[in-house]
Amino acid sequence: MALLNNLVNPKALLFFMVFLPQFVNPARGHVTLQLLLLGATLAAVALVFNTLLGACSGQLGRCLQARPGAAKFQRGLLAFVMAGLALRLLFLDRPSKGI
C-alpha cells in the first residue's frame, strides 16, 4: 500500500521529473543509469533516515510513557507554542487591500 501511495504521490513524481534531472550530465555516461543511481541513492538515504526516525521515536515514546508528568508538560509546551504563533499572526504586518 505504501509503494502504491508513493508511486501516485504528485510531490514525489514532481521531484523526480523536475529536480533530479538537473543532476544528470549526459557527458558522463548513460542518462538512464545516472537517474537510476540517483534514485537508488535517494531511496537508501530515505530508508536510513526513516529507520532512525522510527527507532528514536519508539525510544522517546517509551521514555515519555514512563514519566507521568511528561504528557502534561507536552500539552503545556504545545499550548505555549500555539499561543506564540497566534500572537505572531495577530501582529504580523499585512498590506492593506485598499478597500
Number of domains into which the chain is organized: 1
Residue 42 lies in a domain: yes
Residue 99 lies in a domain: no
Q: What per-residue confidence (pLDDT) applies to 92? A: 87
Residue 97 lies in a domain: no
Q: What is the pLDDT of residues 40-55, one digit of tens each?
A: 998 899 899 989 998 8
The arithmetic mean of pLDDT across residues 20-33, rounded, is 89
Task: Give me the sign of the Cα torsion angle 71, 75, 80, 85.
Answer: positive
Q: What per-residue confidence (pLDDT) applies to 98? A: 61
Task: Indicate the pTM of the whole model.
Answer: 0.56
Task: With CA atoms as reference, report the closest residue to 24 among 39, 11, 13.
Answer: 39
Q: Assign 10 a pLDDT band (cuts: 50, 70, 90).
A: confident
The arithmetic mean of pLDDT across residues 52-79, rounded, is 86
Residue 38 lies in a domain: yes
